[in-house]
Amino acid sequence: MARRRAKSEIIADILHEAFEASAKTKLLHRTNMNIKYFPRYLQALHDGTYIESLRGPDGTTLYRTTKKGRELLGKLREIQEVIEDIRKKRRSTKNQAIS
Encode pLDDT of 8-46 as tens digits: 999 999 999 999 999 999 999 999 999 999 999 999 999
Give the predicted TM-score (pTM) of the model: 0.84
Q: Which pLDDT score is estimated for 97?
A: 63
Model confidence pLDDT, tens digit, residues 51-87? 999 999 999 999 999 999 999 999 999 999 998 899 8
The domain limits of the chain are 7-98
Other Cβ atoms less than 10 A from the Cβ of 10: the count is: 17
CATH topology for the 7-98 domain: Arc Repressor Mutant, subunit A (1.10.10)
